């Protein structure tokens, strides 16, 4: 049986593009507008407040990890600043480390954060299948990884950046695996946390070519058609047939990027009866014909996303 999460993560091709350590003391607050890169932060020591645009504020505590695949922007602050509206001092930044709030004395919180790079040129489509916010806490394995990341970030060992990048990649994948239905916003993870919906999701990933209907998927989930449709839409954030279409298009794009040129075979693999019906659906969804997409993918240079260096905090 297919593992939907592994398939999506593998196709995203995640990598750590940029990170820094941030320490804070006294009252402070920083605002980060939309940056266009998947954002992460892990609390190494202490605690602070974090509020993503459009989401309720959360408290970050030691060992917590937060991942925002599409990062619409956020505000981070000390508890004092959040409660009292205290003015924030300009951050001081040097050599991959930033200090916010009081410039001297012991810190109240230490974080590591930054941006991931998704190597897939179609990351936006795949990210749409994931929750908007993932906040994981109380997970021993994740806390161990956060501790290792913190130790590596503070040390000056040989190959530090390489090791840190690999640890951050594992940290992101572990966070995706650890997120529960109660902490994940609507998306694939929340659907997989529901045993009945997970049965239907695995069937869609295991046999994308099958001519699924809502009624057939509801049967896989041992639910009535209406109850399944409503529960799937609420948990995953889109109707079952829309999710299936997004996944089929992701598979089609991946096949074209890998050099699949026989349209009839690719069409059959993603659930279309002929190359012409596949081409029509692909063009409608992507905005260009499969052959043109394949040509563009193999002729253009796709540089990795570059994280902005002039950000408020990360």
Last residue of a domain, one of 183, 213, 232: 183
Q: How confident is the prediction for the chain on average, in pLDDT?
A: 82
Residue 83 has pLDDT above 70, yes or no: no
Can you give the pLDDT at residue 6? 82
| Cα 311 from Cα 17, distance rounded (Å) | 14
Whether 176 and 211 map to the same domain: the answer is: no
| Cα 247 from Cα 238, distance rounded (Å) | 12
Does 314 fall in a domain? Answer: no
Whether 36 and 160 map to the same domain: the answer is: yes
| Cα 26 from Cα 132, distance rounded (Å) | 30
Can you give the pLDDT at residue 301? 41
Can you give the pLDDT at residue 303? 39
Instruction: Specify the pTM.
Output: 0.67
Q: Which residue has the higher pLDDT, 297 or 107?
A: 107
Q: Percentage of the chain surpassing pLDDT 90?
A: 33
Last residue of a domain, one of 141, 166, 183: 183
Can you give the pLDDT at residue 244? 96
Does 141 fall in a domain? Answer: yes
Q: Work out the burial of residue 179: count CB atoms within 10 Å of its CB; fewer than 13 is exposed, 13-18 middle, 19 or more buried.
A: buried
Confidence of residue 188 (pLDDT cuts 50, 70, 90): confident
Please name the residues in contact with 205: beta carbons below 8 A apart, sequence gap of 6 or more.
2, 3, 4, 7, 247
Number of domains observed in the structure of the chain = 2
| 235: containing domain | 189-299
Residue 66 has pLDDT above 60, yes or no: yes
Q: Which residue has the higher pLDDT, 32 or 313?
A: 32
Last residue of a domain, one of 183, 201, 220: 183
Does 233 fall in a domain? Answer: yes
Whether 211 and 226 map to the same domain: the answer is: yes
Min mean pLDDT across 12-16, 152-156, 300-304 is at 300-304
Q: Which helix (H) or strand (E) holds 16?
A: strand 14-25
Report, as an integer, the average pLDDT of 260-276.
92
């Amino acid at each position: 049986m297919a593992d939907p999460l592994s398939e999506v993560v593998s196709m995203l091709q995640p990598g750590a593009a940029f990170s820094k350590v941030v320490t804070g003391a006294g009252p402070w607050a920083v605002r980060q507008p939309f940056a266009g890169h998947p954002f992460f932060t892990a609390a190494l020591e202490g605690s602070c407040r974090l509020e993503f645009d459009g989401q309720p504020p959360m408290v970050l505590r030691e060992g917590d990890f937060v991942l925002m695949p599409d990062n619409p922007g956020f505000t981070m602050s000390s508890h004092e600043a959040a409660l009292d509206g205290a003015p924030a001092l300009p951050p001081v930044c040097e050599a991959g480390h930033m200090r916010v709030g009081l410039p001297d004395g012991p810190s109240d919180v230490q974080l590591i954060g930054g941006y991931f790079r998704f190597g897939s040129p179609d990351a936006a489509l795949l990210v749409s299948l994931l929750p908007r916010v993932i906040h994981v806490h109380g997970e021993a394995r994740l806390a161990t990884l956060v501790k290792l990341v913190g130790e590596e970030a503070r040390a000056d060992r040989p190959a530090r950046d390489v090791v840190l990048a690999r640890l951050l990649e594992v940290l992101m994948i572990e966070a995706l695996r650890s997120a529960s239905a109660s902490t994940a916003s609507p998306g694939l993870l929340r659907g997989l946390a529901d045993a009945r919906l997970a049965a239907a999701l695995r069937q869609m990933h295991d046999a994308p070519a099958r001519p699924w209907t809502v009624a057939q998927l509801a049967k896989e989930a041992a639910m009535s058609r209406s109850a399944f449709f409503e529960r799937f839409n609420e948990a995953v954030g889109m109707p079952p047939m829309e999710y299936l279409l997004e996944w089929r298009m992701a598979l089609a794009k991946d096949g074209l990027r890998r050099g699949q040129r026989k349209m009839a075979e690719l069409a059959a693999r993603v659930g279309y009866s002929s190359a012409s019906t596949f081409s029509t659906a692909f063009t409608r969804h992507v905005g260009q014909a499969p052959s043109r997409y394949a040509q563009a993918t193999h002729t253009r240079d796709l540089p990795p996303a570059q994280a902005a260096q002039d950000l408020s905090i990360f």
